[in-house]
Structure 1
Amino acid sequence: MSDVLVAVETVSRAKQLKAATGALHEALDARMMGADLFSSRDRYALFLAMQRRLHAGIAPLYGEPALAALVPDLPGRAKLVEIDRDFADIGATPPADEPVFVDPKDVPAALGWLYVAEGSSLGAAFLLKAAEALGLSVEHGARHLAAHPEGRGLHWRRFTQALDAVELTEAEEARAEAAAVVAFRRVSRIAEETLAGA
């Protein structure tokens, strides 16, 4: 009897994280869409507040040398400075800094958080168009929604290629996945807390 070789398709880490967080992502998107956050500049300020709370909580990740060695363009992906400039542009007061959400030296968990943050940048094209309807732009008020010069799609693919190339143990894979789930839950909680007082 001859041996039969069976090709096993390896699912990329990015696709695994997408599958693990899909339901949470869809629920968050629906909540955000239903909040009319781009119906006025006051509502847009709430959206900015949510963005700032997320990015303040993960800001140390973008300066962590161990992560930058895995994602070569990581420092340039940080959004906090642009978000603060957007607040200044629209004359709104940003929320207080968040405590750091994840230990930057915990590489698997940090990768899970970065997956969530970078995914939000991929989907920002639609949000930018909505912001432009309020008279905002990538030069004024919506700086953090600007596309990377090489394009959103390619910029995302470069991130996922780097993400997929990192060697992790089975336990570390589980930690990265758990962190991505925690990240979506944290963003959802930030949304609910921000919208509760609006």
Structure 2
Amino acid sequence: MNPVQPEQGEPGRAKRLKAATHGTHDRLDRSIMEAASFATIEGYRRFAEIQYHLHHAVAPLYADARLQALLPGLEGRQRLVLISADLADVGIAIPAVDDASGPDGDVATGLGWLYVVEGSNMGAALLRKEAAKIGLSDDYGARHLAPAEAGPAPHWRAFTAALDAIVLDPEEEARVVAGANAAFAHVQALVDARLSAAL
């Protein structure tokens, strides 16, 4: 790496990623609510399947020693086991997955994917309330939406502080952004497939 230190006053990496992916993120949020409305258990099942595919794709990142060294506590953040239990609760078999559809193992690219996946926790509080309306809870069907013990905001701040502190060169920075966009595109494709099936 040829590290480039950010200039004083420059937004941190997490804020830069938010700005760089704003349009893609907004479109995805709208699509998710169309494809997986929490008004019915069937809509929630589609959402849980999307979550499983995403978290299966990124599971290797949470086990990557290089990323664990950069992001303390990373391994404990993974939610694939909880999502698998949620699928069983709502009567969904573990879906077949495409192992080639996730990140490629590059550290910088992986950081972008993790930004997207960890950021989704911030919206989980609202989704958790909606899931409760259809009989799901932190112990049944919506385990993966339960907040971290520290609370969602402190949990996110700890992640972004570690993310912001990583020193990368310009090429690596570009791969972080590309990774975040690839993660959003991956989820968008999952949502689009389920939206088409629901129509």
Question: Which bracket does the TM-score occupy, shorter chain normalised?
Answer: over 0.9
Structure 1 residue 186: Cα displacement: 1.1
| Aligned residue in 2 for 1:63 | 63
| Aligned residue in 1 for 2:27 | 27
Q: Following superposition of structure 1 onto structure 2, how do residues 1-198 of structure 1 map, counting pairs within 5 Å? A: 8-35=8-35, 37-100=37-100, 101-104=102-105, 106-198=106-198
Structure 1 residue 190: Cα displacement: 0.8
Structure 1 residue 36: Cα displacement: 5.1
Distance in 2, matches of 1:82 and 1:178, equals 28
| Aligned residue in 1 for 2:4 | none
Q: Any idea what the Cα deviations from partners look like across 1:152-192, whole Å, max 9, x if unmatched?
A: 00000000000001110011001101111111111101100
Moved segments of 4+, more than 4 Å: none
Contact 2:36–2:47 under 8 Å retained in 1: no
Structure 1 residue 35: Cα displacement: 3.3
TM-score under structure 1 length normalisation: 0.93
Distance in 2, matches of 1:110 and 1:20, equals 16
Distance in 2, matches of 1:196 and 1:12, equals 38
* Farther off after superposition, 17-26 or 93-102: 93-102
Q: Any idea what the Cα deviations from partners look like across 1:7-30, whole Å, max 9, x if unmatched?
A: 951110001100110000111111
Q: Secondary structure at the match of 2:168?
A: coil
TM-score under structure 2 length normalisation: 0.92
Contact 2:128–2:145 under 8 Å retained in 1: yes
Where do 5+ consecutive residues of structure 2 fail to align?
1-6
State the structure with more CA Rg: 1
Q: 1 or 2 for the larger relative contact order (CA 8 Å, sep ≥6)?
A: 2
Q: What is the aligned-residue identity percentage?
A: 46
Q: Secondary structure at the match of 2:21?
A: helix
* Farther off after superposition, 90-99 or 186-195: 90-99
Compute the RMSD of aligned alpha carbons. Answer: 1.3
Contact 1:115–1:180 under 8 Å retained in 2: yes
Where do 5+ consecutive residues of structure 1 fail to align?
1-6
Contact 1:58–1:102 under 8 Å retained in 2: yes
Distance in 1, matches of 2:190 and 2:20, equals 20
Distance in 2, matches of 1:118 and 1:132, equals 22
Contact 1:49–1:194 under 8 Å retained in 2: no
